[in-house]
Structure 1
Amino acid sequence: MVRLDENEISFPDPETYDGQDGLIAFGGDLSVERIWFAYQLGIFPWYNPGEEILWWSPDPRFVLFPDEIKVSKSMQKILNRNVFTFSENRDFRGVIKNCQQTSRKGQDGTWLSNELMESFIKLHEYGLAKSIEVWQDGELVGGFYGLQIGNLFCGESMFAKVSNASKAGFIHFAQSNKNTIELIDCQTHTYHLESLGARMISKKEFLKILHENNERR
């Protein structure tokens, strides 16, 4: 595992360096420039607040191809009833703050530090990060955010205040962008996203898609 220099924005090449369980570097900083550079290489930060920054490029990689989205009969009924409405980039701060503050089963606290949250807000202001909002009766009840790199969306975190809100938002996003987004990067496995059609692919395959996408931009 490589220690990063705060004064130099560089990372080990994830194609040739595996690290330990996908952990390839630590240290550095959370500047907008470093985060944006990392994601273009297929690397993302994931660490506990108060600890050193950890940078990951796991193998295999958990992803969803939008045309493989799975919609259960019960979810289709909810979508058909228009229980929720959806928007994009209407309330990025609201989404990311809820992602930070929403408690999750099996988790004590949050991995989303204030510093990382502010960096993503800046990335949004630069047009590099986007949010998807889910509304019910005028209230923000769910959503998620991530980075858009060409036709690849790197999902970061999601939240739901009411049942099925985040699922509905994710399905809406995948279906609405199946002709413009090639891949949604979910990073690491969750049963929630697996139920929607996300699956593992090798890091080699993921990086190939990412690099081809970068070349087309």
Structure 2
Amino acid sequence: MSRAAHPFLLAAPPDAAFPPAELALAEPNGLLAVGGDLTPVRLLNAYAGGIFPWFSEGQPILWWSPDPRMVFHTDGVHLSSRFRRALRASAWTVTADTAFAEVMQACASAPRPGQDGTWITAGMHRAYVELHRLGHAHSVEVFDGPQLVGGIYGVAIGRMFFGESMFSGRSGGSKVALAALAHVLHGWGWPLIDAQVENPHLLGMGAVHLPRDLFLARVRALVREAESPPGGSWTRRFGRWPAAVLAGGNAV
């Protein structure tokens, strides 16, 4: 254990400081604090410190910073050759911030192997929709005509994107959403997407481990940099474009 085997209890004011993420428990891996709330200021302070909330219905709010951390380099998202061949003939289109609440709801409803229920509670949904309204949370949507077939959402601070969840309504929908997000962020000069914790799907798409100390150093630098483009809705600057654009190479 890195310290006594219990998490910190957060102070009541929403702007109260988090303990340093380096003090998170070794078991369970990354548990740092308990309590607090999901107000915008609390959430933004958490992400800026390399911390995220993750808890189930009926639990207190739990805050985590695991070691190592799973991340994508924005020029390192991998799409298989077979998937790219299929994508060349796809009529899907990609947008941003046109259906944030719907993407969150689809992520909450998506079945997850080994999971019973969802950690995206009604309170989490309300909190991130509010962050989206304030211009800090964003979604990428994949459409087949008018039908939403994939998406991803997360939080942006400075030049750092913290991925929260993604879903596929059709096979490959989440892959397209993630690859499109990485493609655009790389063009904006944003180097990393936080993917939080390991799973085989993320590893297969090119996610890598960063030791927590290195991850925190990168995050603390990136969140202080001016967001380029500046905050607010991404709909116009992201545009609407064919998913087939992503079929051009191994990584986007």
- Aligned partner of 1:10 in structure 2 is 17
Tell me which amino acid in the other structure corresponds to 2:19: P
- Aligned partner of 1:199 in structure 2 is 208
Tell me which amino acid in the other structure corresponds to 1:18: A
Identity rate of aligned residues, in percent?
37
- In the alignment, is residue 80 of structure 1 matched against residue 88 of structure 2? yes
Structure 2 residue corresponding to 1:39, chosen from 33, 44, 47:
47
SS at match of 2:224: helix
Deviates more, 1:56-65 or 1:17-26: 17-26
SS at match of 2:37: coil
Deviations 1:155-207 (A, max 9, x none): 00111111111111111221232132210000001111111100101111111
Structure 2 CA distance for partners of 1:165 and 1:10, relative to 1, 3 Å: same
Measured in 1, the distance between the counterparts of 2:133 and 2:126 equals 11
Measured in 2, the distance between the counterparts of 1:76 and 1:178 equals 19
Question: In the alignment, is the contact (CA less than 8 A) between 1:145 and 1:156 conserved in 2?
Answer: yes
SS at match of 2:32: strand
Shift of 1:216: 2.1
Deviates more, 1:72-81 or 1:147-156: 72-81
- Aligned partner of 1:134 in structure 2 is 142
Superposition pairs for residues 1-217 of structure 1, below 5 Å?
1-7=7-13, 9-15=16-22, 17-20=23-26, 21-180=29-188, 181-217=190-226
SS at match of 1:168: helix
Shift of 1:78: 2.5
SS at match of 2:127: helix
Measured in 1, the distance between the counterparts of 2:113 and 2:200 equals 13
Shift of 1:83: 3.6
Measured in 2, the distance between the counterparts of 1:155 and 1:24 equals 19
Shift of 1:99: 0.9
Question: In the alignment, is the contact (CA less than 8 A) between 2:10 and 2:18 conserved in 1?
Answer: yes
> Under a length normalisation based on structure 2, what TM-score does the superposition of the two structures give?
0.82
Deviations 1:16-36 (A, max 9, x none): x13231101111111111111
Shift of 1:4: 1.0
SS at match of 1:211: helix
Aligned length: 216
Measured in 2, the distance between the counterparts of 1:18 and 1:35 equals 17
SS at match of 1:154: strand
Question: In the alignment, is the contact (CA less than 8 A) between 1:84 and 1:165 conserved in 2?
Answer: no
Question: In the alignment, is the contact (CA less than 8 A) between 2:155 and 2:161 conserved in 1?
Answer: yes
Deviates more, 1:184-193 or 1:98-107: 98-107
Question: In the alignment, is the contact (CA less than 8 A) between 1:130 and 1:146 conserved in 2?
Answer: yes
SS at match of 1:179: helix
Shift of 1:105: 2.1
Question: In the alignment, is the contact (CA less than 8 A) between 2:54 and 2:61 conserved in 1?
Answer: yes
Shift of 1:77: 1.3
Tell me which amino acid in the other structure corresponds to 2:70: F
Tell me which amino acid in the other structure corresponds to 2:24: D
Tell me which amino acid in the other structure corresponds to 2:11: D
